[in-house]
Amino acid sequence: MRLTSATGRVLTTGVMAAALFAGSAVAAAAPVGTGAGDAAASHGSYARLHPIAELSARRLATADLVAAAKYGTGSPIDDSAREKQVLDAVARAAREAGGDPEATVRIFRDQIEANKVVQRELFRRWDAKDPSQVPQARPDLAEVREEINRINTDLVRGIAASAGARTAPSCGGVLTAATAHVRHTDRLDALHALVLGRALRSVCAP
């Protein structure tokens, strides 16, 4: 399935290759003076964390479609019932994948909140009645949620597979490098580039 967001990005299923940019990005994230073992560890961490950043950007792009589906219908941006369904589902999926349900739910709470930040900002822009901003078509919300569910499945697996990278001292720097690469390659606009950081703020373990 291919769905195009209101900002023109095409949403597709599947995880993109994680280490395409690993060489230069990991070099930028690694502290000066690290040895070969540390560099290899950073490279491995990047390969684990980049898919999380990429999938988070793809999930964030669906906010455009959710907003376009809801705008003008009276449907609220906040949907506690839907949010509970998502969080319960990802907790179960995390257990099945051998991941940490609590960490997974924590990360997904941020994903959901980031999605709502984009929706609110788009509503604000559309309420300004700028003809170039108001969506011309209303996406099928059920189809959009199917796409979100597919991204959620991949993201849960990515979170489960990245436990070591997410708890490593280098997580913050490596995630920053991965996020910068995603912002560049996905050509995120200012709104989505900013809010992507909000979506990822709980990825590294406290």
Looking from the CA of 178 toward its CB, the CA atoms found within 13 Å total 32
Q: Phi, psi at residue 154, to the nearest 5°?
A: -65, -35
Q: pLDDT tens digits for 179-188?
A: 999 999 999 9
Q: Phi, psi at residue 4, to the nearest 5°?
A: -105, 130
Lowest mean pLDDT among 5-14, 16-25, 120-129, 157-166: 16-25
Q: What is the pLDDT of residue 114?
A: 98
Q: pLDDT tens digits for 133-144?
A: 888 899 999 999
Q: What is the pLDDT of residue 206?
A: 82
Q: pLDDT tens digits for 14-50?
A: 333 333 233 333 333 444 444 555 555 667 999 999 9
**Percent of the chain topping pLDDT 70:** 79
Mean pLDDT of the chain: 85
Q: What is the pLDDT of residue 117?
A: 98
Whether the per-residue pLDDT at 115 is higher than 70: the answer is yes
Whether the Cβ atoms of residue 126 and residue 133 lie closer than 8 Å to each other: yes
* Average pLDDT of the segment spanning 50-56: 98
Angle between helices 171-185 and 36-70 (to 10 degrees): 50
Tokens of 108: 């997904």
Tokens of 72: 């003008």
Sign of CA dihedral 73, 131, 3, 201: negative
Whether the Cβ atoms of residue 167 and residue 129 lie closer than 8 Å to each other: no
Tokens of 73: 């219908």
Q: pLDDT tens digits for 78-99?
A: 999 999 999 999 999 999 999 9
- Residue 147 burial (C-beta neighbours within 10 Å; 0-12, 13-18, 19+): buried
CA 103 – CA 205 distance, rounded (Å): 8
Whether the per-residue pLDDT at 175 is higher than 50: the answer is yes
